[in-house]
A = this chain, B = another copy of it.
Amino acid sequence: MQLAPIELLGLVAGAFGTFAAAPQAVKIIQTKQARDISLTTYLMAMTGGILWGLYGWFEGSLSIVFWNGVSLLMCASIIWLKLRHSGEPG
Size of interface on A: residues with Cβ below 8 Å to B: 40
Q: Which residues of A line the B interface, CB within 8 A? A: 6, 9-10, 12-17, 19-24, 26-28, 31, 33-38, 40-42, 44-45, 47-49, 51-52, 54-55, 58-59, 90
- Residues of chain B within 8 A (CB-CB) of A51 are 9, 12-13, 16
Which of A27, A36, A90 has the most chain B CB atoms inside 10 A of its CB?
A: A36
The smallest C-beta distance from A87 to any residue of chain B, in angstroms, reads: 13
The DSSP consensus for interface residues of chain A is: helix
| Among candidates B6, B19, B37, residue contacting A36 with C-beta atoms closer than 8 Å | B37
Q: Are B55 and A16 in contact (CB under 8 A)?
A: no
